[in-house]
Amino acid sequence: MPSLTSPRLANTCWVSAWMTGDVRGSGVPVCIRKIANWRWLSCATPWRTRMLAKASIACCLLHADGREIHVRDLRSPMERHQGHLSGLRGIFVDITARKASEAALEDSEARFRGTFEQAAMGVCLCAVNGRYMRVNQRYCELTGYSEVELLLRDFREITHADDLEANERLLDALILDNTERHSIEKRILRRDGELIWVNLTISLVRSRRGSGQFMEVIEDITARKHAERELRESEARMRSILSAMREGVIMRDAEGVVIIANAAARRLYGLAPEAVFPPLLEPEGYSFVREDGSECPVPELPGARAMVEGCSAAAVVGIVAENGQCSWVMARAEPLQRDTHTGLFPVVLTLNDLTAQRRAEEELRLAATVFDNSVEAIMITDAGRQILSVNKAFTVLTGHEPMSVSGQTPAILSSVRQGLNQYDRIWREAAMRGVWQGEVWQRRREGGEFPVWLSISVVRDRGGAIANFVAVFSDITERKANEARIAFLAHHDPLTSLPNRTLFQDRLEQALARCERNGGRLALLFLDLDRFKTINDSLGHLAGDRLLQAVAERLRHCVRDTDTICRQGGDEFIIVLPDVLDSEVSARVAEKILRRLAEPFEIDGNALGTSFSIGIAVYPNDGRQASVLMKNADTAMYHAKESGRNTYRFFTEAMNANALERLQVENQLRQALERSELLLHFQPQVELSSGRIVGGEALLRWQSEVLGFVPPGRFIPIAEESGLIVPIGRWVLWEACRQAKRWLVEGQARVTVAVNISALQFRREDIVELVSQALAETGLPPSCLELELTESLLMEQAEDVLDTVQCLKNLGVRLSIDDFGTGYSSLSYLKRFAVDRLKIDQGFVRDMVEDPDDAAIVRSIIQLGRSLKLDVIAEGAESRTQVDFLISEGCREAQGYYFCPPVTPEVFAQMISSSPDPSEWQREARRA
Ligand SMILES: Nc1nc2c(ncn2[C@@H]2O[C@H](COP(=O)(O)O[C@H]3[C@@H](O)[C@H](n4cnc5c(=O)[nH]c(N)nc54)O[C@@H]3COP(=O)(O)O)[C@@H](O)[C@H]2O)c(=O)[nH]1
């Protein structure tokens, strides 16, 4: 079958077919006429006319196979001669395919138009430059413009300025990304000026030729946008309401997860704004307490109950965060619609903050407790000072019951001493300044008056006017007494109640200033109790204290009230006599004092006889300054002592020289040890029956580089006073042990070396350790060492003295009591001491031959020794008569110049190695 797509072939074919009614080669019969008639008849031009005219007609033929074939019939009449038509010449061009595609296009166009026009959404086609090409009805309705008006515009003209940029970006993206479509929401400015929101979906439509158009579909979403905005606004309103609420609001879903929580709720939970709320049923990090402070289990919380049980619940709960911070709330929970999935109820919880209220309640309770239990009296009045309330302490202090004072004014407390006016002034001052504090006297209900420390505070109302007065006071009677006592003690000697140094110094300065102004004279008396140490040591410190008190009392009676007596310390007193006309007056006072103090004191059943040494310095002759006068009076006092005690001395310049000398001795003595200026002499101790030397007393000698030989009687007291006796005594002990050991090593007869132990050394040093070291290091057998202790030291009756003596005894050394008979020995105590020997004081030995009293004392001591099985040695034996007396009285040992004075170690060594003939020793000693 010939192809209909080839016009040339078709022409040939169809001419033939049309002419013959048969399609050559096809074998398919076709009724051209009929179909031609049918088709042509349907043409507007009458058949015949058309058949004869030159024409180009499109017509449809029915093919023999039943298909319709579209052809363009191009024909022209064929003329014979003279206008006669000989036939028709025609060409059929097959246009079936074109017709089919045109029909499809038409169809598509029709369908598009239909869709385009009927679309519920606004649709438009825009050129790439944005100009409208085609718009549908709905587009016109939405924009308010007619189609014509729109086709004259581009989309930018009706797009809201704020959305243009996004719109342009969208177009760019569409072109560049080659994506199909994009959407944005934008605003369109309608023709009537109204703004509408549209959802714009835009796609690129490309033609075959490559050019393109945008197809925009807009959907009116103004209503949705408004709804959304309203929702947003409503949510914002709700949020601001929630955040403005002082109540905490929490909404939890049916699983207890927080959906909404306002700022107040977060604050109550102690949570930061971005922190996550704990789940309701497992609030890790939190615990809850009931109103009574007991722990509240989670299932009991109102929220949990509403969530599980679906009922409204409320309770006061303390929310305790992990850091211990507790927020007290009134929690109310309301269940919402039950969740079918979990079977639980979402809940809305409101939390009313009670923390401040609880705190205020606590504070009130505390304040009430403080008010009730305060040891200080509290009184609250109104602005007119009428008493509103008082506490228990008020009643205790004042005796006024709350009921009886209510409505009265504080004037009921004003004392006679203070006076009502002054009391009133205090309250007025408090009102003026807002506060008043001070010491006042108040009156008790029964009339007694007492000092109080009063504080009045003003309480003002919001307007600043006085609302109340709060007066707090406490009884300060005891405090004042203590203060007075402290003040007294600060300026007085606690033992004698006499002015102490500070007060004395002050009074002396004042008296001197007065003398300076008035040209007056003033006497300063320095008093020292003679041998007080002996009394103290022998009778004990308590007796010594009582003696000092009694002395102070007598001194008070010896002087005028205007005179000042002070206890300088120890047994020293100072008296200032202001306004003395001449030295006579002070001498008379000194004599009076000596007389009065010479009378025995009755202390603990003992009649104690004492004496005083008094030094006097007078202003201005002996000094114009307090310090100079004091020093000079002290110097004068030493001179009084040196002059035999129980006397007084006026200061003279010569005394100063003496004092200076003492100072010089002390200074030189300090260097004596370093300079090896000290040495020991030994005085033999003789067995009277055989004349044998049984021991030697080590006696210190000082050959000073500066002062020459200084006798022990001069430097030993200074060493004692300055404390230098401690290191010096140590040296003596070691040197004596070394020397004794040397004699032993040399093979000399065994003798005991006696060493004087000063009381100060005994107290200050660890004497036991010292002796034991000296023995150990020198290698001297303990039995070769004798320690001479003073009677007064042993009579201190102190247990530690006893212990030390016992320890020394345990070392194996011998102990003797030096100067025995001069102290106040108690026989019972003597027994307790493990001493070996008593040394009769040379004072008794000296006069025993002439003085029967001394003879009796010596005799008694010898007998006492015998009774107590103690050795007895007499010291200071100077004559044969004395030695004979001692022998006749049964004394076995003696030492003294009769036998030999203290000699050097070398001489002493010769003596013990030579015959025991005392006369030889004397000769030896004299030679030495
Ligand atoms: N703590 C220490 N005291 C010591 C030490 N050395 C001496 N002293 C004490 O110094 C005081 C004076 O001593 P001194 O001048 O050595 O006199 C002693 C003897 O020389 C003296 N004496 C001895 N025999 C006689 C005598 O027949 N007549 C007489 N008038 N005097 C004599 O007696 C002193 C010894 O006394 P005493 O100690 O009591 O036995 C003196 O108190 C010494 O104790 C020392 O190292 N440490």
Question: What domains sit in the chain, N to C, each tagged with a CATH number?
Answer: 7-101 (3.30.450), 119-226 (3.30.450.20), 245-359 (3.30.450.20), 374-481 (3.30.450.20), 492-651 (3.30.70.270), 679-927 (3.20.20.450)
Q: pLDDT for 13-63, tens place per residue? A: 444 444 334 443 443 334 343 334 334 434 444 544 555 566 677 777 777
For residue 776, the model assigns a pLDDT of 96
pTM here? 0.43
Q: Is 758 in the pocket of ligand 1 (CB under 6 A)?
A: yes
H or E stretch covering 134: strand 132-135
Kindly report the protein residue whose alpha carbon is nearest to atom 30 of ligand 1: 876
Mutate to test the pocket of ligand 1, among 673, 714, 756, 908 (most ligand atoms within 8 A of CB): 756
> Rounded to whole angstroms, what are the CA distances from 821 to 385, 684, 756, 817, 818?
81, 22, 17, 10, 9
- Region 654-671: mean pLDDT is 82
SS3 23: coil
User: What is the atom index within ligand 1 of the atom nearest the CA of 895?
Assistant: 24
Select from 716, 725, 793 the residue to mutate for testing ligand 1; criterion: most ligand atoms less than 8 Å from CB: 716
- Residue 878: CB within 6 Å of ligand 1? yes
Q: Whose CA is nearest to atom 7 of ligand 1?
A: 699
Nearest to 714 by CA among 755, 676, 669, 678: 669
What ipTM, to 2 d.p.?
0.93
- The number of the ligand 1 atom at minimal distance from the alpha carbon of 699 is 6
Q: Which two tokens stand for residue 455?
A: 């504080």
Q: CA 195 from chain center: how many Å?
A: 69
pLDDT-above-70 percentage for the chain: 88
C-alpha distances (whole Å) from 677 to each of 145, 710, 711, 718, 727 are 138, 11, 13, 16, 14
Q: With a 6 A CB cut-off, is 882 part of the ligand 1 pocket?
A: no
Residue 139: the pLDDT is: 93
End-to-end CA distance of the chain: 185
pLDDT tens by residue, 784-829? 999 999 877 776 656 678 888 899 999 999 999 998 877 656 666 6
Q: Can you read off the two tokens belonging to residue 146?
A: 């007619």
Q: Is the CB of 716 under 6 A from ligand 1?
A: yes
Q: What whole-number distance in Å separates Cα of residue 322 and Cα of residue 699?
A: 85
**How far apart (Å, rounded) are the C-alpha atoms in residues 135 and 133?**
7
Nearest C-alpha to atom 14 of ligand 1 is from which residue? 712
Q: How many residues does the chain have?
A: 928
Please work out whether the CB of residue 875 comes within 6 Å of at least one atom of ligand 1.
yes
Q: Distance, CA 847 to ligand 1 centroid (Å)? A: 18
Is 731 touching ligand 1 by the criterion CB < 6 Å?
no
3-state secondary structure of 87: strand
- Rounded to an integer, the average pLDDT of 360-388 is 91
pLDDT of residue 2: 35
**Pairing of the two strands 564-569 and 522-529:** unpaired
Q: pLDDT tens, 78-126?
A: 665 666 666 666 677 788 888 888 888 888 778 878 888 888 899 999 9
Residue nearest to atom 41 of ligand 1 (CA): 713
Q: Is 786 helix (H, G, I), strand (E, B) or coil?
A: strand
pLDDT exceeds 50 at position 410: yes
Ligand 1: nearest atom to the Cα of 839:
40
More confident call, 709 vs 28: 709
Share of the chain above pLDDT 90, in %: 55
Q: Tell me, what's the pLDDT at 33? A: 37
305-314, 326-335, 818-827, 912-921: range with lowest mean pLDDT: 912-921
Q: Where are the alpha helices (DSSP H) in 765-813?
A: 767-778, 791-794, 799-811
Q: Is 819 in the pocket of ligand 1 (CB under 6 A)?
A: yes
**pLDDT, the chain, mean:** 86
Q: Which atom of ligand 1 is nearest to 711's Cα?
A: 15
925 in contact with ligand 1, CB cutoff 6 A: no
- Contacts within 8 Å (CB) and 24+ apart, 406-412: 409/381, 409/385, 410/379, 410/381, 410/385, 410/471, 412/443
pLDDT in tens, 471-496: 999 999 999 999 888 888 889 998 99
Distance between CA atoms of residues 200 and 209, nearest Å: 27
From the alpha carbon of 683, which atom of ligand 1 is closest? 23
Torsion sign across C-alpha atoms 716, 721, 722, 724: positive
Which range (548-552, 642-646, 744-748) has the least confidence? Answer: 642-646
Do the Cβ atoms of 496 and 488 come closer than 8 Å? no
Closest approach atom of ligand 1 to CA 698 = 46
**CA of 665 relative to ligand 1 center, distance in Å:** 19
Which residues make Cβ contacts (< 8 Å) with residue 697, sequence separation at least 6? Answer: 682, 683, 685, 753, 754, 756, 788, 895, 902
699 lines ligand 1 (CB under 6 A): yes
Residue 266 has pLDDT above 50, yes or no: yes
Any ligand 1 atom below 6 A from CB of 818: yes
346 within ligand 1 shell (Cβ under 6 A): no
Distance between CA 847 and CA 853 in Å, rounded? 9
Pocket test of ligand 1: the residue of 679, 699, 761, 764 to mutate, having most ligand atoms within 8 Å of its CB, is 699
Q: Residues 711-724: what's their mean pLDDT?
A: 90
Question: Does 77 have pLDDT greater than 80?
Answer: no
Torsion, CA 660, CA 663, CA 665, CA 668, rounded to 10: -120
Predicted confidence band of residue 902 (pLDDT cuts 50, 70, 90):
very high
Q: Does ligand 1 come within 6 angstroms of the Cβ of 335? A: no
Token representation of residue 164? 């243009």
Q: What is the DSSP letter of 273?
A: T
Q: Report which ligand 1 atom has the smallest distance to the Cα of 755.
A: 46
Whether the CB of 732 sits within 6 Å of ligand 1: yes
Which residue's CA is minimally distant from atom 16 of ligand 1?
Answer: 699
What pLDDT, on a 0 to 100 scale, did the predictor assign at position 436?
96
Closest CA to 736 of 780, 675, 684, 694: 780
Give the residue among 406, 407, 426, 423 at the shortest CA–CA distance from 415.
423
| Cβ atoms 905, 890 nearer than 8 A | no
Q: How many CB atoms lie within 10 A of CB 238?
A: 13
pLDDT, tens digit, for every residue of 339-353? 999 899 999 999 999
Q: How far apart are CA 241 and CA 350, in angstroms?
A: 14
For atom 32 of ligand 1, which residue has the closest CA? 876
pLDDT at 812: 95
- Sheet containing 387-390: order of strands: 387-390, 377-382, 466-475, 449-460, 435-443
What pLDDT was estimated at residue 25? 40
Q: Among 317-321, 448-452, 606-610, where is mean pLDDT lowest?
A: 606-610
What residue owns the CA closest to ligand 1's atom 31?
Answer: 876
Does the structure show a pLDDT above 90 at 917?
A: no
pLDDT of residue 836: 92
DSSP string covering 231-263: HHHHHHHHHHHHHH-SSEEEEE-TTS-EEEE-H
- The pLDDT tens digits of the residues spanning 130-187 come to 999 999 999 999 999 999 999 999 999 999 999 999 999 888 888 887 667 788 999 9
- Contact (Cβ atoms closer than 8 angstroms) between residue 197 and residue 225: yes
Instruction: Assign 780 a pLDDT band (cuts: 50, 70, 90).
Output: very high
